[in-house]
Amino acid sequence: MTVNLLDFDLEGLAAFCEQLGEKRFRAVQLFRWIHQKGASRFDEMTDLAKSLREKLPSVADISDLPVLSRQDSADGTIKWLFDVGDGNAVETVFIPEDDRGTLCISSQAGCAVGCRFCSTGHQGFSRNLTTGEILAQLWHAEHFLRKHLNTSDRVVTNVVMMGMGEPLQNYTALVPVLRVMLDDHAYGLSRRRLTVSTSGVVPMMDRLAQDCPVALAVSLHAPHDALRDDLVPLNRKYPLSELLDACLRYLPAAPRDFITFEYCMLDGVNDQPEHALQLLDLLRKHRGSGVPCKINLIPFNPFPDSGLTCSPRPRVLEFARRLNDGGIVTTVRKTRGDDIDAACGQLAGDVLDRTNVAERMARRRDSVARPIRIVRTERQA
Ligand code: SAH
Ligand code: SF4
């Protein structure tokens, strides 16, 4: 059995080098080859001591995830479906914009939280991804994009843990992932360009504040407990007042002085004028002075059997206006990658039926050969 070097942050890699009888500083060289240059073979690593280069292949590897498919959207969004074994697949989405390139990464195969409006939640939980499997999504996307855009500049400038899964229910694997993303010898992202999105795993929010306080997005979706209990079942364990307390405790460590609340707009469910008023009340009055925050309204992306529909556009805009007028900066998320089902909550929707997974994957494999078109953004051109 070889060790996957994508499983290590720099500290872990240094310990591994020591175990091999090598100096710890070798780890920095190795780390840079892997993450900055995208090397997948040790014989490429020309400035690494020959003894180490010869030792490594028998004990270690750099293990990419097999790509089941790659699709590109007319708007430049790219979606990968990665095979994580046993009929499980996870998705990663790259969203190019004029001034940034955002990668949306998965943390679990499936999800145990089971939110009503989320297709991943409807799939149920398969397993946690390893550190190496989460990082491979960035490693693969970054170096694929650099090659195809013919650039040595960084392409992924922002990472959001908003793919499949609840990142704070895979905490042990997540923390080294974040450390590698932040490390200047690897991807060098700033803490404000790295966002963990959570449905509200309160104890782990506190630990994240201690261990690796990156930007935090909290999936709220409802202005009171009765509705949130129904939409986000985790609310029964950590109700709104505890969740908002945890947000207040997180803020002093956070890279920004506000929390982003995500709110999925569901027709007739949580999108009425009274919901906007209740939301304003909740967020402005919690513990007297409220929670410093911004709100991001996400138009619901429908999927089969959800029994839900998206609020009509005018109602979404009206809801945003009420919140803005009430003093909370509110934006409406642009939907990207619609034509390839890359939008929030649609991820791996078509591998939902697990009995069909092998057949579907075979079909996907056939589609890998399709040429892909990459739309260059201004910054990358
Ligand atoms: N589990 C984490 C992160 C992954 S979900 C969380 O829940 O925050 C990322 C975001 O997509 C969350 O805000 C989630 O509520 C939202 N989302 C899930 N399904 C959606 C759907 N069908 N339409 C729109 N947004 C959705
Ligand atoms: Fe899990 Fe997030 Fe989907 Fe809820 S919205 S089921 S927490 S992935």
Structure confidence by residue, pLDDT tens digits, 101-153: 999 999 999 999 999 999 999 999 999 999 999 999 999 999 999 999 999 99
Q: Is the pLDDT of residue 204 over 60?
A: yes
Distance CA 41, CA 53 (A): 10
The number of the ligand nearest the C-alpha atom of 112 reads 2
Beta bridge partners of 94: 78, 103
| pTM of model > 0.85 | yes
Residue nearest to atom 6 of ligand 2 (CA): 121
Distance CA 323, CA 249 (A): 24
Distance CA 136, CA 18 (A): 24
224 contacts 240 by C-beta, under 8 angstroms: yes
Q: How far is the CA of 187 from the centre of ligand 2 (A)?
A: 27
Binned at pLDDT 50, 70 and 90, residue 196 comes out as: very high
Helix intervals (H) in the chain: 10-19, 26-31, 50-59, 119-123, 131-149, 171-182, 202-211, 225-231, 240-250, 273-285, 313-325, 357-367
Looking at ligand 2, which atom is closest to the CA of residue 122? 6
Four-way CATH pick for 67-369: 3.90.228.20, 3.20.20.70, 3.40.50.300, 2.60.120.560 = 3.20.20.70
Ligand 1 pocket test target in 92, 118, 164, 294 with most atoms within 8 Å of CB = 118
* pLDDT of amino acid 341: 74
Distance CA 375, CA 21 (A): 46
Structure confidence by residue, pLDDT tens digits, 237-277: 999 999 999 999 999 999 999 999 999 999 999 999 999 99
- For the chain, residues classed under CATH 3.20.20.70 are 67-369
Ligand 1 binding pocket includes 264 (Cβ within 6 Å):
yes
* From 17, 22, 91, 293, the catalytic residue: 91
Residue nearest to atom 5 of ligand 1 (CA): 162
- For the chain, residues classed under CATH 1.10.150.530 are 3-61
Which of 15-19, 344-348, 369-373 has maximum average pLDDT? Answer: 15-19
Q: Which long-range contacts (CB under 8 A, 24 or more apart) does 203-206 make?
A: 204/168, 204/169, 204/171, 205/168, 205/246, 205/247, 205/249, 205/250, 206/246, 206/249, 206/250
Q: How far is the CA of 284 from the centre of ligand 1 (A)?
A: 24
Beta bridge partners of 195: 160, 215
* pLDDT of amino acid 361: 37
Ligand 2 binding pocket includes 298 (Cβ within 6 Å):
no
CATH topology for 3-61? DNA polymerase; domain 1 (1.10.150)
* pLDDT of amino acid 381: 27
Ligand 1 binding pocket includes 235 (Cβ within 6 Å):
no
Structure tokens at 336: 């990207």
Q: What is the mean pLDDT of the chain?
A: 90
Confirm whether 264 is a catalytic residue. no
Closest CA to 298 of 329, 338, 275, 331: 331
Looking at ligand 2, which atom is closest to the CA of residue 345? 3
Structure confidence by residue, pLDDT tens digits, 279-306: 999 999 999 999 999 999 999 999 998 9
| Of 335 and 247, the one with more pLDDT | 247
H or E element at residue 263: strand 259-265
Confirm whether 344 is a catalytic residue. yes
Distance CA 195, CA 179 (A): 13
Looking at ligand 1, which atom is closest to the CA of residue 163? 4
* pLDDT of amino acid 355: 29
